[in-house]
Structures are given as structure tokens and as C-alpha cells.
Amino acid sequence: MGVEVRFDATMVRRYDVPGPRYTSYPTAPQFSEALGEVAYLKAARASNDDPIPGSLSIYVHVPFCTAPCFYCGCTRIITRDQTAGVRYLSRLQREIELQARLFDRDRTVDQLHFGGGTPTFLSDFELAELMRFIRHSFSLRDDDSCEYSIEVDPRTVDDARLAAIAGQGFNRISLGVQDFNLEVQKAVNRIQPREDVLAVMSGARRHGFRSVSVDLIYGLPRQTETGFAQTLDEVIAARPDRVAAYSYAHLPQTFKGQKQIRIEDLCPPEVKLALLGITIDKLTSAGYIYIGMDHFALPGDELSVALADGTLQRNFQGYSTRAGLDLIGLGMSAIGQVGDELYVQNYRLLEDWAGAIDVGRLPVWRGHRLSREDRIRRAVIQDLMCRGRLDMRGFGERFEIDFESHFAAELSSLAPLVEDGLLEIAPGRLAVTPLGRLLVRAIAMRFDAYLNEQSNGEMRRFSRIV
């Protein structure tokens, strides 16, 4: 796929509807409580019998934060009680034991991600204990070919902590920055001086992290074009390998913490749109490659290389270079995937998650078994989002379908998008244009068989572009 992306304010306005981010297809609202622990146990054991059992990916959710950022839409628990972390860890260890019994020990863990919440809510000792236990239970890699990442709140780490985290085997770090502007930081209850963030970034380099990633948010209260442009300049000057710039979704009925944001501080839609334009312009002018769906990376980064050679993947952790790994989700709300057919999610409430573990059960809350049709549509969405093109004949041979008749309704529904220049349909192929890359979700949604079943409330939970 070409790496070009084009911002067009009129088109962004036209296609700015709430929609899934497609870190999975079908998306989590389709998961059902009818499918739980028993189905997962069976699928996990069966996954070892593949002729070549794949490597593993592990996601660990650490939900605690000491103070609420008002914009937050994550599954998190606000507490200053450090003993909450201790109790959580002891249950997490039991969950690890239950999970480790299911997977053959010769399956190496190629990908590991600690997210939250705030993983660095845990002390160095607790993080080291958790890593030691995972290492004891699964086959972790000791070379740099692995992708072991941790989300870090820059307010919670200093140089010594960075050294400790690197020493535990993490080789990638991602920092929540959002905006350096003090007025914005005050409005969202997250004050973190830019000097501290920049010090963490340079410390991460010194301590050998192979990849440093920065998260920004546009559309936050009190953001201005000038202020956000300055944040972007300062971030770019620090040269992180990856930058994610997410859109702020103001949904106070769903995310209660957002009620703390003053209405008069909210970012007007026109400013938000301008912020997106500035973000794309500044990052691409500085040499960053637009990977897709809010993500940018330096040209030498693995994501940029994968985009260029057509091997980019999209999974529960966003864009990735690793395909076909079984994903083990640990901790409350964590999502897992086994084989080609099964998604599961842990209980979202701490008491439910803890209750299951306390009686020796895996805390699987709900799941979804993909039908053949789901897998076909997932592959279409992957091709569009990761490769920006689809060869109808090759696709048809792969799934033994006639693409054009199978998707006749979807293809005709794409006509207005073709007219607006988001994609081209030539005989036998679909190609996303540079304009369409920014709005690719609108294209993917045409192939989502479940969207009509979603209630208005569920649709509103999905984010928008601006």
C-alpha cells in the first residue's frame, strides 16, 4: 500500500460517524455470555494439537490508577491503597497458573503487553514478582526478537524505575502524554510537566528500550491549535519511534469521570477537526509514516516496514507485525483469542473476576465463536485496514467464494465512497486511496454484518474521528 495519507476537512465531516476500531471482528459487543470458560478450556487445549502450534501473546491488565484523568474511557479503578495491588497480584498469579496449565510449554511467548489502568501503579518489586511468575509459568524469550511492552504513566517513573523495568525484560515502552499544555492538563486533571516526560523518553533510550511510543489525544478540553501544534513540535523533536494520536470522545453518560469536564471547556468540533489536520500535517512533514487508524511510526520502525511489505496485522492491541499468535488475556476485562475461531473476555468488574479465581475457575465472562462468514469478513476488513487493497480473485480462491457475488450488496453500497474518492473499484480489485486511508473505518463498516443489530447506545460507545 502507498504510505500517503490525505486530510480533507469536508470528507472527514461527511464520514465522521461513530464506528468500531476493528481491533477484532466481530467486535466486543457481539460477545455472548453463553460462551464462557468451558469453550475456552477446550479451544486452548486443542490449540496445542495444531501441526505447528504457534507462539503465544500475553496481555496483562493492571487496572489501578491513583487519580482519575477526566477524559478516561479505560477499565480502571481509582485508589491510593497500594494493598489493592498486592491483592490483585496474588489473584493474577492464580490466574496465570490456571492459564499456564492449558498451553504446551514449548510455545514461546513472542509478544507480551502490560496495559491498564497504570501498570506502574505496581512497585518495582511487585512488577518484578509478576514478571518472575510469568517467566516461571510460560517460556519467555530472552533475546531481542520478542516484543515485550509496558504502558507507563510518566508521573510514576524515574530513571531508577526505567532501569528496573528494562531489567525485567521489557523492550518497548509507551507513554501517555496527551498534551503538554498546562491549561489542558488542568482541565483533564492530569498534570505532568513536559520536562518530566522528555526525561522519561531520553531515559528509556539510555536504558535500551528498542521502541518508545507516545500517546496524544486531540479534542481535549481547552486545546487550541497553537497549543497542540507546540505539543506536536516538542514530541517530534524527541523523536519517539511511534506516535498514536487518538480522538477524544466526550460520552459522559458512559464514562462518568467525564462529567468533571466543564462544558465551557469542551473543544468545538471545528477546532477538533483543525487539530486532526495539524497532527497529520506535522507528523508526516517530520517524516513519520501514517500506519492507519491514529498511528504513525518512523520509517525504520517495524510497523512502517510491515506496512510497506504488506505484512501488517491488526489485533486486539492495535497494529502489529505478528500474525497468528494465540492471545492469553490476564486480569479483569482482558481479552483473549485462541486459534482462528474463538474470542473471550474476562469479567469486567473486579469482584466478579476475583470471585471466579477464588473458586478455582478461569474468570471468562463472555466470548464469541467465529463462523466461516465472520472469518471471511474479518479477512476483508484486515486487507482494507492493513494493506489498503484487496484482490477479489485471490481472496475468492482463498475462501472458495466468488467475491463479487458474495459481496454484491456491499460493493454497491460503496458507490458513494468511490464517488467521494475514498477508494477505487477496478475489475477484480479494491484499492483504498490516500484520502480513504484516513477514513478507512467507514469503508470497513460496509463489510460489518453486525452493525445493523447494534442499538443506538452501543453505536454511541464507539469513537468518532472528530
**Residues in contact with ligand SF4 by the rule CB under 6 A:** 65, 68-69, 72, 74, 76, 116-118, 153, 176
Least CB distance from residue 261 to ligand SF4, whole Å? 13
Least distance between ligand SF4 and beta carbon 252 (Å): 15
Cα angle 79, 85, 86; round to 5: 140
Closer Cβ to ligand SF4, 76 or 295, answer by number = 76
Between 335 and 380, name the residue whose CB sits nearer to ligand SF4: 335
Beta-bridge partners for 423 = 432
Query: What is the nearest approach in angstroms of ligand SF4 to the Cβ of residue 344?
Result: 22
- 317: nearest Cα among 143, 112, 163: 112
Which amino acid appears at position 318 of this protein?
Answer: G
* Residue 207 to residues 31, 125, 201, Cα–Cα distance (Å): 41, 18, 10
How far is residue 277 from each of residues 125, 208, 395, 414, measured CA to CA in Å?
Answer: 43, 33, 34, 25
Q: At what angle do helices 124-137 and 159-167 cross, to 10 degrees?
A: 10
Query: DSSP 3-state helix, strand, coil percentages of the chain (rounded to 5)?
Result: 45, 20, 35
Q: Compare residues 153 and 374 and give the one whose CB is closer to ligand SF4.
A: 153
Least CB distance to ligand SF4 at residue 153 (A) = 5
Torsion region of 148: left, alpha or beta (phi above 0 gives left; psi -120 to 50 gives alpha): beta
Nearer residue to ligand SF4 within complex by CB, 74 or 198: 74
Question: Cβ 332 to ligand SF4, closest distance in Å?
Answer: 13
Nearest CB to ligand SF4, comparing residues 189 and 321: 189
Q: Which is nearer to ligand SF4, 117 or 367 (CB)?
A: 117
Name residues whose C-beta falls within 8 Å of residue 256's C-beta, 6 or more positions apart in sequence. Answer: none
Smallest distance from ligand SF4 to CB 76, Å: 4
219, 247 Cβ separation under 8 angstroms:
yes
Q: Name every residue whose Cβ is closer than 8 Å to that of residue 293 and which is 6 or more positions away in sequence.
A: 21, 22, 314, 318, 319, 385, 440, 441
In angstroms, give the least distance from the CB of 66 to ligand SF4.
8
- CB nearer to ligand SF4: pick between 16 and 153: 153
